[in-house]
Amino acid sequence: MKIIELKQDIFRENEVTADGVRKELSDANTLMINVMSSPGSGKTTTLVRTINMLKDKYKIGVMECDIDASVDAETVQKAGAYAIQLHTGGMCHMDAAMTKQGLMELDCKDADLIFIENVGNLVCPAEFDTGAHLNITILSVPEGDDKPAKYPLVYEVSDVVLINKIDAISVFDFDTDKCIERIKACNPKSEVFLLSSKTGEGFEGWISWLEGKLGGR
**pTM of the full predicted structure?**
0.92
Homologous superfamily, domain 10-209? P-loop containing nucleotide triphosphate hydrolases (3.40.50.300)
Torsion sign, CA atoms 158, 73, 119, 174 = positive
| Per-domain boundaries in the chain | 10-209
Rounded CA separation 167/143 (Å): 14
Q: CB-hemisphere CA count at 13 Å for 53?
A: 19
One digit per residue, the tens of pLDDT, for the chain of length 217 reads 444 444 556 678 899 999 999 999 999 999 999 999 999 999 999 999 999 999 999 999 999 887 666 778 889 899 999 999 887 776 778 899 999 999 998 988 899 999 999 998 999 899 999 999 999 999 999 999 999 999 999 999 999 999 999 999 999 999 999 999 999 999 999 999 999 999 999 999 999 999 999 984 4
Q: Is 179 helix (H, G, I), strand (E, B) or coil?
A: helix
